[in-house]
Amino acid sequence: MERSLKAIFSSKPPWVVPILLVLAVGGGYLALQWWKERTIFPEGLIQANGRIEGDLISVSTKFMGRVQTLLVREGDTVKRGQVMVQLDDIQIHAQVEQSRQAWKALEAEVQGTHTDLAVLNLQVPLAIEAGEAKVKEIRAKLKKSLAVQKEAGQDLKRYRALYQHDNVSLQKLQQTQQKWEVAKNDVAALRSALTHAQKERAQAELGWKRIRAKEAEVAALESRRDQAEAALEEAESRLADFTIRAPANGTITTRMVDVGEVIPPGAPLFELVNFDRLYLKVYVPEIQIGKIRLSLPARIYTDAFPDHAFPAVVRSIASRAEFTPKEVQTPNERVKLTYAVKLYLEENPDHRLSPGMPADAVIRWKENVPWRKPEW
């Protein structure tokens, strides 16, 4: 073999060997450059990996109850407000009806008392006005009767003096005496009527006290009515809580109850995830975290859809570093301090992506850098 090689080199011109050496070195350099381009990610892009997650929503109940109807199962997609479970609510229904009847009775009593108060507010001023008018009328009559009595008394005094000197007849004196007595009786009667009218006016003015008492009665009834209404609303709220509804849009990932089970207060019934709000949680090395900022674009790649890049946006950056979790797949990154970064997917067509799927991501922190698939 040695001889054949020597024969080959000895049969060639002397410049062939240097050329072969140059080609060998050049080929090695080109191969090294190609390898560097394949193994070193472009400036402006950061690659990372992790698992797709979603905001987990736990559905629970406030009160203890027996599951009467189960309307959804694992894998079902629910809308916010959709009924998921109906608990046995016979007893709470009875409480609601009892509270409703108590509220209705007090409401009717309040309405009746309001009517009485409205009547009093009309009657009292009218009664006072009528009493005042009557007092004024009697006072006017009394004033007139007093004047008549005074005049009759003067006439009687004069006629008595004339009668003593036989200047007037006895009949005329008697007539004058009678007129004075009538006037006197009229005055006495009017004074009695005035006293009675003043008492009636005072009685009418007491109507304001009756109004204030009725107002206090209305306020007390309204307070009791409001308490009954609050008790009714609380009972209705409790009744509504026996119907378990979806708190948000999402897909049920876990079910922990079945028909007939008695559920204690606060016990979880379901867990659901909104498949339209998924994110990839990745861990960026400490030396690269300074390049990451909120709202940076990213692309996510999965083994299930290797030729499809799902657009995402940086929405969360951890404020503290941590050791890289075990699920990060690159061995040389596991021992480094990293920061958790959440990349929220902008779309999830047909809900092809689901929580738990491993995925790779490319984050672009420098504009106009061409996208490139992640390489590990």
With respect to residue 65, please indicate whether it lies within any of the assigned structural domains.
yes
Say what percent of the chain tops pLDDT 90.
Answer: 60
- Residue 123 sits in the same domain as residue 165: yes
With respect to residue 314, please indicate whether it lies within any of the assigned structural domains.
no
What's residue 39's pLDDT?
47
pLDDT band of residue 106 (cuts 50, 70, 90) is very high
What's residue 13's pLDDT?
58
| Interval 225-239 mean pLDDT | 94
With respect to residue 372, please indicate whether it lies within any of the assigned structural domains.
no
Say what percent of the chain tops pLDDT 70.
Answer: 86
What's residue 159's pLDDT?
85
Question: Residue 115: pLDDT above 90?
Answer: yes
What's residue 328's pLDDT?
53
Quick count: other Cβ atoms within 10 Å of Cβ 45? 19
Helix then strand then coil, in percent of the chain rounded to 5, is 50, 25, 25
With respect to residue 106, please indicate whether it lies within any of the assigned structural domains.
yes
- Residue 216 sits in the same domain as residue 129: yes
Run of H or E residues at 362: strand 358-364
- Residue 135 sits in the same domain as residue 105: yes
Q: Say which amino acid occupies 159.
A: Y
With respect to residue 316, please indicate whether it lies within any of the assigned structural domains.
no
Find how far residue 187's CA is from the centre of its chain.
76
DSSP string, 265-314: TT-EEEEEEEEEEEEEEEEEETTTGGG--TT-EEEEEESSSTT-PEEEEE
In the chain, the number of structural domains is 2
Phi, psi (rounded to 5 degrees) for 216? -65, -40
- Residue 114 sits in the same domain as residue 207: yes
- Distance, in Å, from the CA atom of 92 to the CA atom of 101, rounded to the nearest integer, reads 14
Q: Which two structure tokens, joined as six digits, stand for 361?
A: 């991501």
pLDDT, tens digit (0-9, with 9 covering 90-100), for 16-30 = 555 655 555 555 545
What's residue 166's pLDDT?
80
- Residue 207 sits in the same domain as residue 120: yes
- Residue 99 sits in the same domain as residue 206: yes
With respect to residue 183, please indicate whether it lies within any of the assigned structural domains.
yes
- Residue 103 sits in the same domain as residue 181: yes
Range of 138's domain? 93-238
With respect to residue 21, please indicate whether it lies within any of the assigned structural domains.
no
Lowest mean pLDDT among 48-52, 96-100, 211-215, 324-328: 324-328
- Computed over every residue of the chain, the mean pLDDT equals 86
- Residue 252 sits in the same domain as residue 207: no
- Residue 185 sits in the same domain as residue 100: yes
Question: Residue 97: pLDDT above 70?
Answer: yes
CATH code at 74? Answer: 2.40.50.100
- Residue 249 sits in the same domain as residue 228: no
Question: Residue 35: pLDDT above 50?
Answer: no
Lowest mean pLDDT among 166-170, 281-285, 332-336: 332-336
pLDDT band of residue 161 (cuts 50, 70, 90) is confident
- Residue 145 sits in the same domain as residue 247: no
- Residue 167 sits in the same domain as residue 182: yes
pLDDT, tens digit (0-9, with 9 covering 90-100), for 117-157 = 999 999 999 999 999 999 999 999 999 999 999 998 998 89
Lowest mean pLDDT among 113-122, 208-217, 331-340: 331-340
CATH code at 150? Answer: 1.10.287.620
Quick count: other Cβ atoms within 10 Å of Cβ 107? 15
